[in-house]
Structure 1
Amino acid sequence: MRQIKTWVQLYVDWITRIGIIRFSLLLAFCIISIAVVIQGTITLLLRGVVDVVDLVRSVFFGLLVTPWAAYFLTAVIDELEDSRRRLTDMVHKLQVMRERDQALNLRLRSNISQLNNQIEETRRAEAARLRVLSELEAEAIQREKAQKELEEQSVLLRSFLDSSPDLVFYRNEREEFLSCNKALETMLGRGRNEIIGRTPYGLYEPQMAEQIISRDRDVFETNQPVTYELWFPYPDGRRACFEMRQVPFFAANGERLGLVGFGRDITEHKRYQDELEKASQDKTTFISTISHELRTPLNGVVGLSHILLDTPLNDLQRQYLNTIHLSAVTLGNIFNDIIDLDKIERRRLKIANSKIDLRLLLSDLQTLSTLMVEAKGLYLHFDIDGDVPHWIVADGTRLRQILWNVLSNAVKFTAEGGITFGVQVSPSAENKVHLRFDIEDTGIGIPEHEQENIFAMYYQVPGTRRAVGTGIGLAITKQLVDAMDGMIHVDSELGHGSCFTIELDVAVLPDDQIDETEELLAQELPVLRILLVEDIALNVTVATAMLNKLGHQVDVAMCGAEALDKFMPDRYDLVLLDIQLPDMTGFDIADELHRRYPEQLPPLVALTANLVNDPRQYRQHGMQSVIGKPLALGNLRKTLNELFVGCALPIAPVVDTQEKHLLDITFLQDFTSVVGCDVMASAIDLFEQSMPEYLNILSSALMAKDKQGIVEEAHKIKSAAGAVGLKRIYQLAQQAQSPDLPAWQENIHDWVDSISAEYQGDLERLREWLQLQRSQVDGLQG
């Protein structure tokens, strides 16, 4: 088929190349030639001879057939050509269509690809959406579960907080309550809805609200927790003390949202502390009472036994009397140990130094020790090395107690042999000596591992319990030695006795200085012009009477401004400054006077009932000395001698006792001896007139919970009571003006009530005492 197409194409090409006529002639020639050849071949084959006629016939046949053949072929060719052209056109169209189909196919493919991409993206988006929906659904389930758990936890937390007896609350930075527990609702007597949204000013008393807000500010300013105590009133009127703790509260991003507060009821703890304090006070009162009641007959026993020992006695009587005397002395020292034990427990042990005769002290100690060792058949040897000073500055009572405790302890644990008491004196510094006391015995000794324990309270070395003792003697001795800046230690061997060594540094008063002191004391003070700055009228009366009795001139200023107006450097020789005044402190006045007159000031002396521990505080404000209230004649004369003679009067050591009397007898005797009974009576009348006003102001300050007002008014009452010798009222007012005392807030009402209820009775007792003094004076004059 492909061969025919090739011939046809060749035929068409020849016609196109040489033209139809030429092609027809050529075709006729070819047909005739073919016909001649075929005719000749057939004739030759059939007859063996080819004739001209056969050739002509063939030519004629060729000529006859050629037109028809040419026409037929031409027609066929035309048809074929036409078919070819149509086919070409069709092929071209098909080609165009094919190209268009290809383009469409490409576009279709592109669209299909895009569609596939869109379908894929849609599928992916759908898958993502389904995944997101699944996650959201899971998250929603989780959230719902978490919400449910949160609600359960919230209910549990709320139940826990509501069941807690502690206060729990939450406030924002605008001080508004955002939440609280049941305990706070109960305490305030309000429901949660009434509390939330309010500030402390809408729930508490103004003073308490201000205190709470002040603590909130501390939390917000420092971003640190704050702990404090606060007394809350309940709706039924009872009060409870809470330990409050407020902490800042922050969000996850660090932003501060407010504060969370917690409050624990510590009323029972406070009550327990008060009971302990009361028990301690009761014990102190008991010890003081026992000491006071027993010392008088005990001193009689000691004194009379000592007198009887100097009378003619037989040996048996002297032995019995020695035993009585030593027992009384020993009992007295046991009292001293018990009192000191109480003071040590309350950290009130004080050393009162004064001038003492050391030689006389050692002589008395030797006499008593000799009696004690003779009762047990022991020897006593006193060995003094060095020149023992006559007068030293020390606490004679404590020094005697230390040495007696160690000596009596040595005698107690020595069955045979004796005691050696050694004294060594050596210079330590200018006007000071180093005293070393060695008390050596031949007793049972102390194991090396027990030598540190014997100074512990109530401790006794195992195996020595057959010895009678309190177990506090050496412990008290160690405390006393430490308080006197000394040292005590023991060197002992079991079965070979012990040696206790006590070392102290003391100041020495040379004999020439003592003579000079006596000469100075014999000098009379000049008449002084004194400015007294005091705001309490009763104190003014007492101080003025004392100073006038001593021959001095007194001007009075009732406040700081008046004092500054009155003062001139050449007008006064001395200024007595009360520290607490209505408009300023004595420190402020002193500072202002030093600013105005830096080089022309007379001595400035502070008057205060609240002596600070560090005297440098007064010196920093240019004050030369300080006198405590209530004003005592001895302290006043001592200070004046120090300032204007150059030598202080000897003052007997003050014994620190806790005896609770209604009246300060020592002060009253001193005061009346100077100013007289009439002035004392006037002072009592002035106190009685002033007290109602003081109490009214104190009661109003108490109702308003004005702590500063309570302290100031109680201070006035304390000063006024001290000025007339009302000791019990003075002590009550001292407690009322001291808000740092344990349970002050709880007890302040009782103290104020006690002052109101007791002061008139105490005044009557004071008048009775004063009347007795008048009677005695009249009897002496008669």
Structure 2
Amino acid sequence: MHRLLRRQIAKAGFDKKDLEKFKSFFDTVGGTYESFDNDFKHIELILSESSAEYYKLNQTLKSQVDNVENEINTIVNTIEGVIFKTDMKGNFKYLNKAWEDLFDMPVEEAIHKNYNDLLFGINKKEQARINAFLKSKQTDYSTLFKYFKPSGQKIWVQLRLVLTYDKVGNATGTIGTMSDVTQLKETEIELNHANKTKDEFLSTMSHEIRTPLNAVIGMSDILLMEKFLPDQLENLQVLKYSSEHLLALINDLLDFNKYKSQEIRLTVDDFNISELAQNIQLHFRQIAASKGLEFNTIIDSGVPEILKGDSLKLSQVLKNLLSNAFKFTHSGSVTFKVELLEGHKNSSLIRFSVIDTGIGVSYNKQKDIFKSFVQATDNTSMLYGGSGLGLYISKELLKIQESYLKLDSKKGEGSTFWFDILFEHSDLKLLDTQSYISKTEHIDLKVLVAEDNSLNALLLKKLFKKWNIDYVIAKNGEELLEKFSEDDFNLILMDLQMPILDGYETTRCIRKLNDSGKSMIPIIALTAFSKSEVSDKIKRYKMNGYLSKPFKVNELHALLKFYSNKKQQVV
């Protein structure tokens, strides 16, 4: 019998008679026990085999995971940049081997330490930024910071990181990269230094060129103030207009970098479009006559007389286009056309066109000629001269006026350049068209001038004599302080760049005087530097205003008249 059946029979107290009587039953039960044992042994065998199979599979998977992990670590550790993982507090949980190369610190020393302590040190501003990022849960974060290695070497590091999340959307930490950008940063610093040097050079050149030009423009103004024959008026107008145009050209060339950095701004004012067209016609009349060309100016009668816009930049574009038209046209005509495209209640869309019968531009060169220092053909500069900046500058000037220069041309058949500008209407019904005549009204004022350039000093003397102004001219700041201590004045015109003592230091000395009447005298900066270059220092040294050289005579007259009126109000 089965051992379990014998145990149960013994426990129940069956005797031999009972065993004989129930033999068939006990045989059945015994067979069941045997069958159960066989099944159990079979299951044990199956489980044993399965366990062995699972163990083998597990070992295979573990080996594969180890291989993948080793491959990933190999890949990650061969990457030059640092790859890291942190918790939400910024403690490093993982770092690849690039960490040691970048920061000269073993990975084991950095793990579980906070990157604020390791990287940013006393840079509280950067710590605050990165902590704010962790709290705000933004998408990503990037920064550039300076780091000093234990050896003292300085490097620049670019850091980028993103937040990681669990399955339910809770932020769990960050993963990110750090890379050495020292070479790029140092190159950027060198370029910025080079740009600063270039700007200083341009600023100096601007001052040196504008100073003699101031005398040319000023003398043309004085000639217009004196008596002249009626047939000389047109010549004087051309002289004044051309010298002012030359100044605009010089400003554009010297400030060429401003077009690249988009620093040029519009100066919107009322202007008379008929006067603008007349000045342009006067400017090119002699050129047309010398080349035997017909020069036509056509203005649509529907164009409003007075508009609001930047007439100087508009004139600059038109003169660039007309200069090219006359340069490249040997026979036939040049036409300057102004027409109304759309008239609205408060604005008008005006089209300006320059049409010539010149050499034209081939199709494959039409896009290139709008680039800086590019001309239509390789021998254009040799045959016709020019720098190749005209069309580029024109395109940039139109861009800030929300307009575009367009071209229709065929080689040997002439060209048509045109552009459209939307101008606001002016509230004025009539604008003074005699603005080229300088004012001669006398002014009751005593002026002290600091001017070291003899030509500019001569120009101011002539103007002050015309306006009956009492004046004293000093050649430098030291001389000005001496003259200022000897007499009383109503206004000081202060040149900024002078020998011995410049305009800034001279102004500082005046503002420190104990005599409040003298220390508070109005001081106007009179300089060839652009306003953007000196505006901050003018405010810092407590000057009262700015007047550029070359100055417009009527602007100087208006400035002096303003302080003359203030003087009379005080009296």
Return the TM-score normalized by structure 1.
Answer: 0.46
Residue in 1 that maps onto 2:316: 401
Counterpart CA distance in 2 for 1:106 and 1:432 is 118
Residue in 2 that maps onto 1:472: 389
User: Where does 1:384-423 land on structure 2 (aligned, <5 Å)?
Assistant: 384-386=299-301, 392-423=307-338
Q: Say which one has the larger Rg.
A: 1
Residue in 2 that maps onto 1:120: 39
Counterpart CA distance in 2 for 1:423 and 1:331 is 24
Partner SS for 1:406: helix
Relative distance call for 1:117 and 1:509 in structure 2 (3 A) is: closer
Counterpart CA distance in 2 for 1:153 and 1:252 is 27
Counterpart CA distance in 2 for 1:503 and 1:414 is 24
Counterpart CA distance in 2 for 1:306 and 1:414 is 33
User: Where does 1:160-239 land on structure 2 (aligned, <5 Å)?
Assistant: 160-161=76-77, 164-184=79-99, 190-200=105-115, 202-203=117-118, 207-208=122-123, 211-212=126-127, 214-215=129-130, 218-219=133-134, 221-222=136-137, 224-239=139-154
User: Where does 1:15-414 land on structure 2 (aligned, <5 Å)?
Assistant: 101=20, 103-122=22-41, 124-139=42-57, 141-142=59-60, 145-146=63-64, 149=67, 152-153=70-71, 156=74, 160-161=76-77, 164-184=79-99, 190-200=105-115, 202-203=117-118, 207-208=122-123, 211-212=126-127, 214-215=129-130, 218-219=133-134, 221-222=136-137, 224-250=139-165, 257-297=172-212, 334-339=249-254, 341-356=256-271, 358-386=273-301, 392-414=307-329
CA contact (8 A) 2:148 2:155 kept: yes
How far is the alpha carbon of 1:453 from its aligned partner?
A: 5.3
Partner SS for 2:426: strand
Partner SS for 1:471: coil
Counterpart CA distance in 2 for 1:376 and 1:669 is 59
Whichever residue aligns with residue 408 of structure 1, its letter is S
How far is the alpha carbon of 1:234 from its aligned partner?
A: 2.9
Counterpart CA distance in 1 for 2:192 and 2:145 is 20
Relative distance call for 1:384 and 1:514 in structure 2 (3 A) is: closer
How far is the alpha carbon of 1:345 from its aligned partner?
A: 0.4
Counterpart CA distance in 2 for 1:481 and 1:210 is 43
Relative distance call for 1:331 and 1:146 in structure 2 (3 A) is: same
CA contact (8 A) 2:308 2:424 kept: yes
Whichever residue aligns with residue 358 of structure 2, its letter is G
How far is the alpha carbon of 1:463 from its aligned partner?
A: 7.8
Residue in 1 that maps onto 2:417: 500
How far is the alpha carbon of 1:170 from its aligned partner?
A: 2.3
How far is the alpha carbon of 1:446 from its aligned partner?
A: 3.5
How far is the alpha carbon of 1:409 from its aligned partner?
A: 0.7
User: Where does 1:638-649 land on structure 2 (aligned, <5 Å)?
Assistant: none
How far is the alpha carbon of 1:665 from its aligned partner?
A: 10
CA contact (8 A) 1:340 1:476 kept: no
User: Where does 1:421-500 land on structure 2 (aligned, <5 Å)?
Assistant: 421-424=336-339, 428-430=343-345, 435-447=350-362, 451=366, 454-462=369-377, 465=380, 466-486=383-403, 488-500=405-417
User: Where does 1:536-575 land on structure 2 (aligned, <5 Å)?
Assistant: none
How far is the alpha carbon of 1:262 from its aligned partner?
A: 1.5
How far is the alpha carbon of 1:416 from its aligned partner?
A: 1.5
* Residue 539 (structure 2) pairs with residue 722 (structure 1): yes
How far is the alpha carbon of 1:477 from its aligned partner?
A: 1.4
Kindly indicate which of the two structures has a greater share of residues assigned to helix. Answer: 1
RMSD: 4.9
Return the TM-score normalized by structure 2.
Answer: 0.60
Residue in 1 that maps onto 2:234: none
Residue in 1 that maps onto 2:428: 510
Counterpart CA distance in 2 for 1:453 and 1:155 is 52
Partner SS for 2:539: helix
Counterpart CA distance in 2 for 1:662 and 1:192 is 59
Whichever residue aligns with residue 541 of structure 2, its letter is V
Flag structure 2 segments of 5+ consecutive residues without an equivalent: 1-15, 224-238, 434-500, 524-534, 544-571
Counterpart CA distance in 2 for 1:126 and 1:377 is 117
Relative distance call for 1:474 and 1:265 in structure 2 (3 A) is: same
Relative distance call for 1:494 and 1:255 in structure 2 (3 A) is: closer
Query: CA deviation digits over 1:467-499, x for unaligned, max 9?
Result: 433333122212223323456434444433223
How far is the alpha carbon of 1:154 from its aligned partner?
A: 7.0
How far is the alpha carbon of 1:347 from its aligned partner?
A: 0.8
Question: Which range moves more in the overlay, 193-202 or 399-408?
Answer: 193-202
Counterpart CA distance in 2 for 1:720 and 1:439 is 43
Query: CA deviation digits over 1:165-185, x for unaligned, max 9?
Result: 433332223433233345545
Relative distance call for 1:498 and 1:336 in structure 2 (3 A) is: farther
Counterpart CA distance in 2 for 1:291 and 1:486 is 29
Partner SS for 1:375: helix
Partner SS for 2:291: coil
Whichever residue aligns with residue 247 of structure 1, its letter is V
Kindly indicate which of the two structures has a greater share of residues assigned to strand. Answer: 2
Whichever residue aligns with residue 121 of structure 1, its letter is F
Counterpart CA distance in 2 for 1:327 and 1:389 is 26
Count, aligned residues: 430
Whichever residue aligns with residue 679 of structure 1, its letter is M
Query: CA deviation digits over 1:648-670, x for unaligned, max 9?
Result: xxxxxxxxxxxxx9867999999
How far is the alpha carbon of 1:512 from its aligned partner?
A: 6.2
User: Where does 1:622-701 land on structure 2 (aligned, <5 Å)?
Assistant: 677-679=518-520
Flag structure 1 segments of 5+ consecutive residues without an equivalent: 1-96, 309-323, 516-660, 683-717, 727-782
Relative distance call for 1:141 and 1:448 in structure 2 (3 A) is: closer
Counterpart CA distance in 2 for 1:117 and 1:489 is 100
CA contact (8 A) 2:306 2:431 kept: no
Partner SS for 1:416: coil
Counterpart CA distance in 2 for 1:415 and 1:402 is 22
Counterpart CA distance in 2 for 1:417 and 1:665 is 60
Relative distance call for 1:439 and 1:464 in structure 2 (3 A) is: farther
CA contact (8 A) 1:188 1:203 kept: no
Counterpart CA distance in 2 for 1:173 and 1:115 is 64
Counterpart CA distance in 2 for 1:420 and 1:155 is 74
Partner SS for 1:415: coil
CA contact (8 A) 1:247 1:259 kept: yes
Relative distance call for 1:226 and 1:289 in structure 2 (3 A) is: same
Question: Which range moves more in the overlay, 398-407 or 180-189?
Answer: 180-189
Identity %: 23
Whichever residue aligns with residue 438 of structure 1, its letter is S
CA contact (8 A) 1:355 1:393 kept: yes
How far is the alpha carbon of 1:259 from its aligned partner?
A: 1.9
Counterpart CA distance in 1 for 2:301 and 2:369 is 31
